[in-house]
């Protein structure tokens, strides 16, 4: 492996840890009944370490967490506050694309873990012009990555209310401006989707 590739691997690992810690911060907000779109919800570093161990099954040193938090602070994604010998984390710009991206994923995952399905389907569909096929393909891949079920090529399902999350998607994915949200009481051939979401 040459030096350039080694640097890329190091950067990839560093950003991987950063993403995981950011996800955990958002998860911690949600697990306490809050929302990652609300600012000024404090989280102690030791709690990040505990959740990292619980969720990722990995031990992480406090100094590593601090390095990541300092990096996120420089990126103006979070701000750090020292108080009573503890460090608290606050989100700075809730419209930051990185915060929005992981907020959506965390919110949807949280709903899948905590909500009881009421039999309705929450759908998004879109008709992105052929001249913008790259945006269309990106939107499809993005929805799948977030956990939506591809019912048809341009129709995606989720079993729980997700209108706010769809609004957030529209903020950061350009092709999502063509996306529409609809609630369906019943759909045909729903069994594959029910299996996908473990609703059977």
Nearest to 17 by CA among 47, 46, 59: 59
Q: Where are the domains of the chain?
A: 3-97, 115-196
Q: Which mean pLDDT values do the consecutive 10-residue runs of the chain (200 residues) have?
A: 41 61 73 54 73 79 85 81 74 72 79 90 93 92 94 95 90 90 95 92
pLDDT at position 35 is 58
Nearest to 162 by CA among 115, 95, 129: 115
pLDDT at position 3 is 40
What span, in angstroms and rounded, lies between the C-alpha atoms of 118 and 4? 52
pLDDT at position 124 is 96
Note whether 59 and 139 are within 8 A (CB).
Answer: no
DSSP state of 35: -
Nearest to 151 by CA among 199, 108, 192: 192
pLDDT at position 4 is 44
Instruction: Tell me the CATH number for domain 115-196.
Output: 3.30.70
What span, in angstroms and rounded, lies between the C-alpha atoms of 126 and 29? 31
Residue range 3-97 in CATH 3.40.50.10800? no
Give SS3 for 121. strand
**Which runs of consecutive H residues, i.e. helices, occur in 90-162?**
97-114, 133-146
pLDDT at position 7 is 35
Nearest to 88 by CA among 110, 73, 104, 106: 73
């Amino acid at each position: 492996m040459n030096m350039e590739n080694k640097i890329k691997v190091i950067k990839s690992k560093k950003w991987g840890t950063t993403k995981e810690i950011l996800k955990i911060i958002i998860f911690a907000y949600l697990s306490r009944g809050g929302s990652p779109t609300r600012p000024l919800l404090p989280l102690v570093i030791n709690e990040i370490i505990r959740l990292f161990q619980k969720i990722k099954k990995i031990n992480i040193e406090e100094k590593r967490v601090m390095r990541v938090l300092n990096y996120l602070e420089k990126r103006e994604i979070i701000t750090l506050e020292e108080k009573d010998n503890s460090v608290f984390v606050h989100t700075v710009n809730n419209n930051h694309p990185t915060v929005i991206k992981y907020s959506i994923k965390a919110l949807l995952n949280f709903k899948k873990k905590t909500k009881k399905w009421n039999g309705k389907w929450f759908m998004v569909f879109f008709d992105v012009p052929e001249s913008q096929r790259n945006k269309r393909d990106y939107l499809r891949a993005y929805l799948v990555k977030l956990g939506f079920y591809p019912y048809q090529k341009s129709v995606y399902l989720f079993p729980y209310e997700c209108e706010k999350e769809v609004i957030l998607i529209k903020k950061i994915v350009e092709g999502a401006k063509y996306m529409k949200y609809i609630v369906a009481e019943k759909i045909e051939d729903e069994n594959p989707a029910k299996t996908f979401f473990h609703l059977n």
